[in-house]
Amino acid sequence: MSLPRSGSFPVGQLERLTVRLAGLIRDYPRGPGIIKEFVQNADDAGATRLRVIMDWHDYGRDLPNGSPLRQVLGPALLLANDAEFKDEDFEGIVHIGESGKRLTTSKLGALA
C-alpha cells in the first residue's frame, strides 16, 4: 500500500466488529470464565434474570462439509438477560476494548 503524495487521507484502525468479537471469544481462557463475564454484564445492566441455554442441535448437518455456515449452525450456548439495552450499551460495543467500567466502582467488571 502506498500513501498519497498530496492531499489528505483517513487515518485509524479499521476492524470489523464481528472479527473483533470472534477474536475476543477465541482468546478467552477455556472454562467457566466466559459465563462469569455474562453474569457480570447482566449485573452491570441491572438485570434480574439471566438465562443460560445449551442448544445441542446441529442445524447445519444437511449442508456440505466444506460449507462455512456449518460453523455457525451447530451447537450453541445461548445467554439472555432481562435488562433493557440502552444507547450507551450500543456505544460501548462500537468502542469495544475501551472499557468505561474502570471509573465506575459500582460495576462488577470495574474491579476485575
> Is 89 part of a structural domain of the chain?
yes
Owning domain of residue 100: 31-110
How many structural domains comprise the chain? Answer: 1
Residue 82 included in any domain? yes
Q: How far is CA 51 from CA 26, 39, 48, 64, in A?
A: 22, 10, 10, 32
Question: Is residue 105 one of the residues assigned to a domain?
Answer: yes
pTM for the predicted model, two decimal places: 0.59
Q: 21-61 pLDDT, tens per residue?
A: 888 888 888 888 888 888 998 998 999 999 999 999 999 98
| Residue 51, SS3 per DSSP | strand
Domain contains 47: yes
Residue 66 lies in a domain: yes
Domain for residue 99, yes or no? yes
Residue 101 located in a structural domain: yes
